[in-house]
Structures are given as structure tokens and as C-alpha cells.
A and B are shown apart, each in its own frame.
Chain A
């Protein structure tokens, strides 16, 4: 098997994939470490409002989901030669609008889900507080995810890098970091003032 000789397989060779990705993965880990330190600093807030910890993975995971749906679509359209990155391209805007509609739906559901769980275990925050936290952070995260997807896909395309190798990692990590920072800042603002 041609594992590390890339001649026949081109960009599908394991050696090629590792060489392209590993340095990027290390850089991204360094960036996301910032989110980790933010989380550790918020340990006290999380101890006081346990429901926030329950929201954390869904919050940052969902931002990554929305961003990767958009960037996977953009990069496949690039491969198929149907994306132009023209700001007047109405199909591009239909994609973006769908992302925001999905975000509004899902983050409302997240607030309600966590609220119901809070009732069950008796450490309730009010539904209003949870909706403000979830939707304000969620829609900001969606906006960050959209900008990051478009910039990353277009950037790799211009640099001649296969967007499949770069966009989803870049988008999910940018969203992880900013998502964590935005979510904890908004929670602190709503709950502590």
C-alpha cells in the first residue's frame, strides 16, 4: 500500500494529509488553549450556576456544527465549480439565512431544554435568563461561524490549499474560542451584572 508515497494518490496519501494537517492542528490547539484557560477562570461561576456547565458543550458544539455545515457546502461547491463568492450571489445569502434560522431554532430549544432540566434538579435559573443567555450567545456565535466559514474557504481557495483540509478545523476552533469567551461573558453579565 502506498502509505507515505503520494505519487499515485495525490492529496489522499496519508503522508500528505499528516504533513498538511499536523502543524495546523498544533497551532489550533494553542489557540483553543485560550478557551480552556477562560473556562478554568470561570470555575467559580460554573460552581455557583451548575446549569451553565451543562450548556457549555452544546453551546460551542452547535457553533461548530453551523460553521461546518456552511463551509462543507462552500467547499464542495468550489470543488464542483459552482461557487463564485460574489456578494450579489443570492444562493450564498440563502445559505447564510438558513444558518441563522437554524441557530435561532436550536438555541431556543437549548434554553428550554436546560430550563426543564433545572426544574427537575431544582437549581433553577429563570426561563427568561436562560433564553437571553442562549440566544444572545448563540446568534453571536452563528455570526462568527458564518464570517469564519466564508473567510476560511475563500482564503484557502486563494492560497491554493484544498479547503477540505483547512476550513472545518479553522471554523470549529475559532468558534470554540470565541464561543466560550462570548458565552461566559454574556452569562456573567446576565447573572452577576
Chain B
């Protein structure tokens, strides 16, 4: 394909998906501005937000990239059927996500304590990020597979879909579940 053709095909394929990602980002921005009110109750919460949002990109972005390449190479078929490769990839991403939630809560608490900023108790921070991480995992894995398979069957290049799907679902559900986890922990603590 000529460079001009490549340019327009990327632009046309990516723009609608990015527009949806933009809407998702704006929704989660609204949730974030609501979350600012809880920051006073849980010092350290704001520090965890970018790290928590980054996790879904890390874990599920790589899961999506792997599935996209698998689809291209014909190792995975765009159907919900038993596939050992797919099952391994999904289980690995679940273990990574849960393990990382614990690491994030502990790290944020540790760094803030070292900086002398008196964060909320370790158990509280880890609890929030673990609850949010588990809820996000279920939605992310289900949503990612459904949308990637549907997109691939509709003739879309899965490479162009992974990033936007992951960030949109991750932004919206990540922030919503973080907000929900804060509510849950607020009730448990008080």
C-alpha cells in the first residue's frame, strides 16, 4: 500500500474508536473530580489513581496485544471456545492483576510514609485497590474478549482496537470501581 493510503486507513480506522475512548475518558474524569472529595478521608488515594489506572493498561493491554497477534497468526479463533493458549493468557493476566494490586497499595503507603506524609493505614489502601482491582478484572477480561472477537469478525484490524478498548473500559470501569471500593471501605472502616 502507498504511504498516503496507509495514513488514511489508520486515521479512518482509529478515529471512531478514539472518539469513543475520549467519551470514556471524560466520564471517568467526572468520577475523578467526584473522588477528590474523599481524598481528605483517605490520604494517599490520589497517589494511587494513576498507578491503578496504569495497571489495567499494563495487564490487559498486553493481554489484548497477545490476543491480537494470536488472531493474526491464526493461533486463536474469534470465538468463546476452549483454547489452552487463551486460557493460559487469561489466568496469567488475572494473577498479575491481583498481585499488582497488593504491590500498588503497599508501595503507595511505603513511599508516602518515607516522605513523611502520613497516609491512610496500609490495610485500608491495599483493601481499596484490591477490591477495585478484582471488580475491574472481571469486566476487563470479558469486555476485551467480546469486543476484540466482534471487531475481528467485522473485519477490523485488532491491533487498532486493543489500546482504545483497554483504555476506555479501564478508564470508565477502573474509576467507577475505584469510587465504589472507596465507598465500601468507607462503610467497613466507620
Is the C-beta of A97 less than 8 angstroms from some C-beta in chain B?
yes
Nearest residue (CB) in A for B172 is A57
Bound complex: CA of A68 vs CA of B68, how far in Å?
A: 12
Chain A interface residue count, CB cutoff 8 Å, equals 77
Nearest residue (CB) in A for B164 is A65
Contact call B62/A18, Cβ cutoff below 8 A:
no
Q: Mark B160-171, 1 if CB is under 8 A from A, else 0.
A: 101110111011
Give residues of chain B (1-21) contacting chain A, Cβ–Cβ below 8 Å. Answer: 1, 3-4, 6-8, 10-11, 14-15, 18-19, 21
Do A29 and B107 contact each other (CB < 8 Å), given the known contacts A61-B171, A98-B6? yes
Q: Nearest Cβ distance between residue B90 and chain A, in whole angstroms?
A: 8
Is the C-beta of B185 less than 8 angstroms from some C-beta in chain A?
no
Is the C-beta of A101 less than 8 angstroms from some C-beta in chain B?
yes
How many A-B pairs have beta carbons closer than 8 Å: the answer is: 253
Contact call B32/A22, Cβ cutoff below 8 A:
no
Is the C-beta of A55 less than 8 angstroms from some C-beta in chain B?
yes
Chain B interface residue count, CB cutoff 8 Å, equals 76
> Which of B4, B15, B48, B62 is the one whose CB lies under 8 Å from A168?
B62
Contact call B49/A62, Cβ cutoff below 8 A:
no
Contact call B10/A60, Cβ cutoff below 8 A:
no
Bound complex: CA of A22 vs CA of B162, how far in Å?
A: 20
- Which 3 residue pairs are nearest across A and B when measured between Cβ atoms? A58-B25, A68-B163, A54-B29
